[in-house]
Each structure stands twice: as structure tokens, then as C-alpha cells.
């Protein structure tokens, strides 16, 4: 029963990663749907979903490694967007929003584990 859940989580992670990459690297003037009117909320939601999927997809990998890898990916996206030929704007606040989302999911997972230990 665990195998189909892992496969589903990994498919969901791949879908979230592709959707996030599309939003991050499409041209600045490109028209694509926005879930929120505020850019930071879009970053938060993308990395919240990525983190939740990654934690489900790779249950044997330590949470800290997944969190660090995703935060590093967020930083890398901003660095790439800062390159002159990409025609996007690098914004450290976007990376902060990404990392806050990652920490939010990690916090919920840690609280759930602590609660389970207390029962």
C-alpha cells in the first residue's frame, strides 16, 4: 500500500516542480494564471506545496536536508532571474518567502511528530 502513495507523492512533486519552474522562468511579460495578487503569496504557496510533496515523496530523507535543498533551489531561482539575459528581476524577498513556506511545513510536521510522541 505504501508504494502507490510514494508514486503519487513523487508525481505530485514533479508536477509542482514543473509548475513552479514555469512560473519562475517564463518571460516577465508572459501571461499565466495568478492564484494571488501578491507575488510573495505566490512564492509561499509554490514552496509550501513543493515542501509538502517532497516530504511525502521522500520519507526516509531527513527533513533538514529536504528543507535545505528546497531553500537552495529558491535561492538559485533568484540568482538565475538576476542574470541580464533572463530579463527577470532578482528579489531576495522572494527567496525569504520561499524559505518561510518551507519552514511552515517543517514546523507543522515537527509539531505532529511531537504530538504523536506525547500520546
Q: What is the mean pLDDT of the chain?
A: 92
Calpha distance 73→98 (Å, rounded): 9
Calpha distance 103→12 (Å, rounded): 20
Residue 73: per-residue pLDDT: 97
Q: Which residue has the higher pLDDT, 27 or 88?
A: 88
Write down the pTM of the prediction. Answer: 0.90
Residue 30: per-residue pLDDT: 65
Q: Return the SS3 of 3.
A: helix
Q: Give yes or no for residue 26 having a pLDDT over 90.
A: no
Phi, psi of 67 (to 5 degrees): -60, -45
Q: Using one digit for the tens of pLDDT, what is the confidence trace for 28-76? A: 666 667 777 788 999 999 999 999 999 999 999 999 999 999 999 999 9
Q: Return the SS3 of 46.
A: helix
Q: Using one digit for the tens of pLDDT, what is the confidence trace for 94-104? A: 999 999 999 99
Please state the domain extents for the chain.
2-118
- The region, left, alpha or beta by phi > 0 then psi within -120 to 50, assigned to residue 56 is alpha
Residue 84: per-residue pLDDT: 87
Amino acid at each position: 500500500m505504501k508504494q502507490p502513495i510514494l508514486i503519487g507523492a513523487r508525481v505530485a512533486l514533479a508536477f509542482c516542480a514543473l509548475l513552479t519552474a514555469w512560473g519562475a522562468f517564463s518571460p516577465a511579460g508572459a501571461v499565466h494564471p495568478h492564484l494571488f495578487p501578491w507575488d510573495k503569496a505566490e512564492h509561499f504557496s509554490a514552496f509550501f506545496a513543493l515542501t509538502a510533496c517532497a516530504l511525502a515523496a521522500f520519507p526516509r530523507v531527513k527533513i533538514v536536508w529536504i528543507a535545505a535543498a528546497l531553500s537552495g533551489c529558491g535561492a538559485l531561482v533568484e540568482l538565475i532571474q538576476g542574470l541580464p539575459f533572463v530579463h527577470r528581476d532578482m528579489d531576495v524577498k522572494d527567496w525569504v518567502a520561499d524559505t518561510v513556506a518551507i519552514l511552515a511545513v517543517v514546523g507543522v510536521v515537527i509539531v505532529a511528530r511531537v504530538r504523536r510522541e506525547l500520546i
